[in-house]
A and B are shown apart, each in its own frame.
Chain A
Amino acid sequence: MEWMVWTTPTAVFFAVIAALLACMTTWEVVSPTVERKGFLPISTTRGDRFFIGLLSAAYIHLIVIGFTPLSIWMALGASVVWCLILMRWG
């Protein structure tokens, strides 16, 4: 694993993503998703909203890092709130 040049932040990042995926899978097995239409222009399943949430979170982070002086934690906070809104009402 030495060649992968791990750092603590990236290890935490991947662990969280893996945990989220595992949770989504368990949730899906326990109660399967129903496709529905929320405030997004397309009807989505739970997995679709999860993907949209992660992708938009990545862009939120890029914008905050690249073009604002704000801390990355602000981006993280905004992303978490946004993902929760998306999962619930998207």
Chain B
Amino acid sequence: MNKVYNNRAWWLILPMLLLVAFSAIIPLMTVVNYSVQDVFDAHTRFFTGTEWFKEMLNDPALQAAVLRQFAFSLTILAIEVPLGIGIALLMPKKGWQASAVLILVTMPLLIPWNVVGSIWQIFTRGDIGLMGWSLRELGYGYNITASPVDAWATIILMDVWHWTPLIALLCYSGLRSIPDAYYQAARIDRASKWSVFRYIQLPKLTNVLVIGVLLRFMHSFMIYAEPFVLTGGGPGSSTTFLSQSLTTMAIGQQDLGPSAAFSLIYFLIILLVTWVFYTAIMNMQKDNNKGA
């Protein structure tokens, strides 16, 4: 078969490219410009070279925030992905139950971040919050403003509650798109439930899981409003994640140079991790296709 390649269709992305240039690329270039200068106003600025980068890379508070951020993102991924797949497998497939469960599962996704933070802030209070009160009555001295462990557990629980539905929904739609013939073939072979999951459902879910994992990683890597409302980054700085350190620096202290340098480092970390995730999963798929 002779395929004719015509690359002229690339011109069709030009409007999108202009939009991205306006909303992302030009601002990003400005951030790069800021990162090598100490800017007071449009006319008073000094060239600092790589000084801000050196300072940011060696700042112990920021290094701790990076590690904390990775710990958080990996923890919630490790919980939400298997849990989401599990929920999707258990969701009813047709009838009114399917719609009802779908609506129930989607509910947390409709709540704005800062409201989620407020809900959990009240929920975990020892005097008027059900969870905080119950745990105290059970004899555990639960206090998210004093104990880093409690604060961490609560933030992870909150994120799992808020975002597992996203993975579940994606997996649910992935599962629905598997043709019935696969299951029939599996029944003929007397395949166990586990083999059906391992060799039919999981491979067919790879595509949606790639999107799910990437979305969840990026979401959790920029998490801001929820911990900000719930713990304010405390106790101490035990739940201060990257975006909060960055916002404090950029908006709170107006240190535009250092925060520009820091946000570029942040950007490079996200770029690398996303690329590694994407490449790894895409190559896994390629190998699978070769094997099949």
A residues bordering B, Cβ < 8 Å? Answer: 2-7, 9-10, 13-14, 29, 32, 42, 51, 55, 58-59, 62, 65-67, 72
Helix, strand, loop or mixed for chain B's interface?
Answer: helix
Known: A5-B30, A59-B268. A65 touches B54 (CB 8 A): yes
Supply 8 further A-B pairs (C-beta < 8 A) apart from A55-B268, A65-B53.
A3-B42, A5-B42, A6-B33, A9-B47, A10-B36, A65-B50, A67-B57, A72-B49
25 A-B residue pairs with CB within 8 Å: A4-B33, A5-B30, A5-B37, A5-B39, A5-B42, A5-B45, A6-B33, A7-B36, A7-B37, A9-B47, A10-B29, A10-B33, A14-B29, A14-B32, A42-B283, A55-B268, A55-B271, A62-B53, A65-B54, A66-B53, A66-B54, A66-B57, A67-B58, A72-B49, A72-B50
Q: Which residues of B contact A (CB under 8 A)?
A: 5, 7, 26, 29-30, 32-34, 36-37, 39, 42, 45, 47, 49-50, 53-54, 56-58, 265, 268, 271-272, 275, 279, 283
Pick from A10, A51, A58, A67: contact of B268, CB under 8 Å: A58
Chain B residues with Cβ below 8 Å from A65 are: 50, 53-54, 57
Which of B7, B34, B53, B271 is in CB contact (< 8 Å) with A5? B34
Q: Tell whether, in the assembled complex, residue B32 and residue A13 are in contact, meaning their CB atoms are under 8 Å apart.
A: yes
Q: Quick one: which of A4, A9, A29, A66 contacts B30, CB cutoff 8 A?
A: A4
- Look across to chain A and name the residue whose beta carbon is closest to the beta carbon of B51: A65
CA distance A29 to B5 in the complex (A): 11
Q: Determine if B26 and A4 form an interchain contact, defined as CB atoms under 8 angstroms apart.
A: yes
Q: Provide the main secondary structure of the chain A interface.
A: helix
Docked-complex contact A9 and B271, CB < 8 angstroms: no
Nearest first, the 8 closest Cβ-Cβ pairs linking A and B are: A66-B57, A65-B50, A4-B30, A5-B33, A65-B53, A10-B33, A58-B268, A10-B32
A3-B42, A10-B36 in contact; A66/B29 too (CB < 8 A)? no
| Residue from B26, B29, B47, B58 whose CB has the most chain A CB atoms within 10 Å | B29
CB distance from B21 to the nearest CB of A (A): 12
B275 touches A55 (CB 8 A): yes
What residue of chain A has the Cβ atom nearest to residue B41's Cβ? A5
Q: Which residues of chain A come closer than 8 Å to B49, judged between CB atoms?
A: 9, 72
In whole angstroms, how far apart are the Cα atoms of A13 and B7 in the complex? Answer: 29
Establish whether residues B57 and A62, one from each chain, have CB atoms under 8 Å apart when the complex forms. Answer: yes
Which residues from B are CB-within-8-Å of A59? 268, 272
Q: Are B47 and A7 in contact (CB under 8 A)?
A: yes
The residues of A that contact B279 with a CB separation of less than 8 Å are: 42
A2 / chain B contacts, CB cutoff of 8 Å: 42
CA distance A14 to B49 in the complex (A): 16
Most buried by B among A3, A4, A72: A4
Is B268 within 8 A of A4, CB to CB?
no
The closest CB in chain B to the CB of A9 belongs to B36
For residue A88, give the distance in angstroms from its CB to the closest CB of chain B.
20
Residues of A within 8 A of B39 (CB): 5
| Nearest-Cβ distance from residue B210 to partner chain A, whole angstroms | 16
Nearest CB in chain A: distance from B181 CB, A: 32
> What's the Cα separation between A5 and B57 when bound, in Å?
23
CB distance from A73 to the nearest CB of B (A): 11
Q: Given that A4-B29, A7-B47, A14-B29 are known contacts, is A62 also in contact with B268, CB under 8 Å in the complex?
A: yes
In Å, the complex CA distance between A72 and B279 comes to: 30
| Min CB gap A57→B, angstroms | 11
Taking the closest CB of chain A, its distance from the CB of B184, in whole angstroms, is: 36
A67: chain B residues at CB < 8 Å are 57-58
